[in-house]
Amino acid sequence: MPHTLTITTRHNLMIAAGVAYLVIIFFGISADMVLRPMALATADLTERVGYLRLGLVFDALMVAADAALAILLFLAFRHVSPNEALAAMIFRLIQGGIIGASLMAQIAAIHLPEQAPVLMAIGADGYDLGLLFFAVNTVLMARILCHSGLTPKWLPPALFGAAVVYAVGSLSALLAPAVADLIEPAYVLPLIAETGFCLWLLFGHRNMRGAVA
């Protein structure tokens, strides 16, 4: 596929990326903030195992959409900085692979409910490990968007800040769990930054004109 794309093709790639981002946000938040907490709200996991199973499906859909997003963003922005775009795609795919593998701990918890607390903790650590790679991806995407000159001026710095939150939060969860809860309020920044990026992909890039090399 040539590196030169018509503006229509690039628009279509960005819109598809925005849709994938919406899928990630919806299914990721639903699984992490609704379904898993509901499943773990009782001491006996078997009473609400259906919520955990549905959460697994939502997580799997999120990982699949994340892989698609990694490829779409590479295709849409490789003209800006080919090496950084390739690196960003690789780090995002690594993140998805680690998070996907960590879901096996949740599957094990379904079949070994007596060990659910330990297995769910392993799954959570896997998620945090994946987010370390995502932090690198986010820095790279912020740089690419900054070079592109297409996005609102606030978006690249917001993504840089989100990367810092992801890195500090994940390192805290892995190395100093006792203080990890102190980082939780800061995750509002990644939510704002990524939602803003998603909305820009869907609607905000339409002021581009002509063919982009």
Domains in the chain: boundaries: 7-204
Cα-Cα end-to-end distance for the chain: 13
- Determine the Cα–Cα distance for residues 153 and 173; give it in Å rounded to an integer: 31
* pLDDT number for residue 181: 87
Identify the segments of the chain with pLDDT beneath 70: 1-4, 205-213
* pLDDT number for residue 46: 83
pLDDT digits (tens, 9 = 90+) for 16-59: 999 999 999 999 999 999 999 998 888 788 888 999 999 999 99
Let me know if 41 is exposed, middle or buried by CB neighbors in 10 A (0-12, 13-18, 19+): exposed
Paired strand residues for 209: none
Q: What is the mean pLDDT of the chain?
A: 91
The SS3 of residue 1 is coil
CB 155 within 8 A of CB 190: no
